[in-house]
Amino acid sequence: MRHGLTALTVAGSFALALAACSPSTPAPEASAPPSSSPLASLPQPERPATGVDPWPDFGDFAVDSNKAVLPAHNLSVEERWEDYDYLSRIANTAQARWVGSWEDNTRVAGLARDVYRKAAATESIGLVAYQGMRDYPCERAAADPSLELAYQERTEAVVRDLPSTGATAWIILEPALVQTLDTCDADPRGAWLGDAAATLASAGAAVYLDITGLAVLSPEEAVVQVARLDLAHVVGFSLNVGQHRPTAEQRAWGESFLAALAASGADVTSSRGTADPGQPGLGLIIDTSRNGVPLERGQCNAPEAGIGTAPRLVADGVLDAVVWIKRPGESDGSCNGGPGVGQFSQPIALELARRGVLDPAYAN
Domain layout of the chain by residue ranges: 14-354
Report the helix count and the strand count for the chain, using DSSP H and E: 11, 8
In this predicted model, what pLDDT tens digit does every residue of 188-223 receive, in sequence order? Answer: 999 999 999 999 999 999 999 999 999 999 999 999
Give the integer Cα–Cα distance in Å for 2 and 55.
Answer: 23
Residue 178: HSE in the Cβ half-sphere, 13 Å Cα cutoff = 29
Least confident of 11-15, 176-180, 189-193, 278-282: 11-15
Report which of 302, 208, 309 is spatially closest to residue 254, judged by C-alpha positions.
208
The torsion of the CA quartet 315, 325, 214, 100, rounded to 10 degrees, works out to: -130
Q: Is 357's pLDDT higher than 90?
A: yes
Length of the chain: 364
Core vs surface per residue 252-279: b (16+ CB within 10 A) or e: ebbeebbebbeeeebebeeebeebbbbb
Model confidence at 23: pLDDT above 60: no
Mean pLDDT on 322-326? 98
Backbone phi, then psi, for 160, in 5-degree steps? -55, -40
> Cβ–Cβ contacts within 10 Å for residue 227, how many?
13
Q: What was the pLDDT predicted at 295?
A: 95
> Residue 15: what pLDDT?
34
Residue of higher predicted confidence among 14 and 125: 125
The count of other CB atoms within 10 Å of the CB of residue 335 is 12
pTM for the predicted model, two decimal places: 0.89
Strands in the chain per DSSP E: 97-100, 125-131, 168-173, 206-210, 236-239, 283-287, 312-316, 319-323
Q: Which residues contact residue 310 at a Cβ distance below 8 angstroms, ignoring those fewer than 6 apart?
A: 55, 56, 57, 58, 93, 94, 288, 322, 324, 358
pLDDT band of 363, cuts 50, 70, 90? confident
The string of DSSP letters for 20-82 reads: HT-TTSPPPSSPPPB-S-GGGGS---------PPPPP--SSB-----TTHHHHHHHHHTT-HH
The confidence score (pLDDT) of residue 11 equals 34
Contact 144, 186 (CB under 8 A): no
pLDDT of 134: 96
Digit-coded pLDDT (tens) for 47-81: 899 999 999 999 999 998 899 999 999 999 999 99
Q: Once rounded to an integer, what is the mean pLDDT over residues 78-104? A: 98
Work out the average pLDDT over 253-271: 96
Residues 25-37: tens digit of each pLDDT: 333 333 333 444 7
Is there a contact between 205 and 171 (Cβ–Cβ < 8 Å)? Answer: yes
| pLDDT single digits (tens) 152-168 | 999 999 999 999 999 99
CATH 3.90.105.10 assigned to 14-354: no
pLDDT of res. 1? 36
What proportion of the chain, given as a percentage, has pLDDT over 90?
82
Q: If residue 116 lies in a helix (H) or strand (E), which one and from where to where?
A: helix 105-122
- What value does the mean pLDDT of the chain take? 89
Please tell me the distance from the alpha carbon of residue 118 to that of residue 275, in angstroms, as a whole number.
18
Kindly tell me if the per-residue pLDDT of 3 is higher than 90.
Answer: no
Instruction: State mean pLDDT over 115-144.
Output: 98
CB neighbourhood size of 64 (10 A): 25
Tell me if residue 107 falls in helix, strand or coil. helix
